[in-house]
Amino acid sequence: MNQLLLVVTIAGERVALPAAAVESVVELDTLIPVPRAAPHVAGLSALRSRVLTVIDCMCSLELGATDCPDGIREAAVVELDGHHYALIVDQVEDVVEALSEPTPIRAAMGEGWERVCQGMIETETGPLLLVDIAALVAGSDIKAAA
C-alpha cells in the first residue's frame, strides 16, 4: 500500500485525507458570505485567480462552527467534479504513508463522522479515520436528499 495521506485535525480529532486529492494547503484570511448557501458553506475565497467554495468541516459534521478568532483559517484545497473547495480544518500536521487498507469501524462515532468515514487506516503515527472528501463537501444535505 503506497497511498499517501494528509493528516489533519477536525473538531479536535486527528484524521486522514487522501493526499492525492489535495492540491495544496493554504491559510485563508478573507471569506465572502454566500446568501442562502447550505450551513456548512462558510463562504467564498480566492486563490491564484480561482474561486474556492469554503467548507467548514466541523459544520459539515454537524459539530458546530469552526472558531477562528484571529480570522485566519487553515484549509486543504481540493478539486471535486471540476469545482475547487477549501476544507477548513483545525490544523494540518503532516503527510504520512498508509500501512493498510481501510478497515470497517465497529463503534458508534456520531452521525456526522459515520457519514464521512471510509474506515480506519494504519499509519506510522497510529490508526487514523480516513475521511471521504466528497461527503465532507456535500455536508448533511446529502442525507436530507436521500
Domains of the chain with bracketed CATH = 4-145 (2.40.50.180)
Q: Is 27 exposed, middle or buried (0-12, 13-18, 19+ CB in 10 A)?
A: exposed
46-103 pLDDT tens trace = 888 889 999 999 999 999 887 765 677 899 999 999 999 999 999 999 999 999 999 9
Burial class (CB in 10 A: 0-12, 13-18, 19+), 66: middle
Residues 35 and 72: their CA atoms lie apart, in Å, by 21
| Mean per-residue pLDDT over the chain, rounded | 89
Which pTM was predicted?
Answer: 0.89
Residue 142 has pLDDT above 70, yes or no: no
In the structure grid, which three cell numbers stand for residue 141, read together? 444535505
Query: Is the pLDDT assigned to residue 43 strictly greater than 70?
Result: yes
Spell out the residues 6+ positions from residue 72 whose beta carbon is closer than 8 angstroms to its own.
27, 28, 29
Query: What is the pLDDT averaged over residues 1-6?
Result: 85
Average pLDDT estimate for 2-19: 94
Using DSSP, state whether 106 is helix, strand or coil: coil
